[in-house]
Amino acid sequence: MFLLDTDHIVILQTSAAGLSDRLTHRMAAHAPNAFLIPIISFHEQVAGWQSFLNRRREAASVVRAYEKLGRLLETYAKARIAPRARSMA
């Protein structure tokens, strides 16, 4: 099993300057179900888009941000989310 962090996810989402190709190539050597995403990555990205939206004033920027937020939701809906951590209490 491999746990992708938020940085890995952003690289895959944005096709960042050749990094996406390298990461995709390395991931291809493993079964798709070998990768998990922590729920905190979802929270970090949603919080980032919420902050972005709170600063937007122009309608076009707001619409574009909501479109990206929708794509984020679609991405995570298809992903395998890592089980939550158990309480130590």
pLDDT value at residue 15: 77
Q: Count of alpha carbons within 13 Å of 17, Cβ hemisphere only?
A: 0
Where along the chain do its domains lie?
2-78
pLDDT tens digits for range 12-53: 888 777 788 889 999 999 998 999 999 999 999 999 999 999
Residue type, 26: R
Predicted TM-score (pTM) above 0.85:
no
Residue type, 15: S
Give the whole-angstrom CA distance, residue 43 versus residue 41. Answer: 5
pLDDT value at residue 81: 93
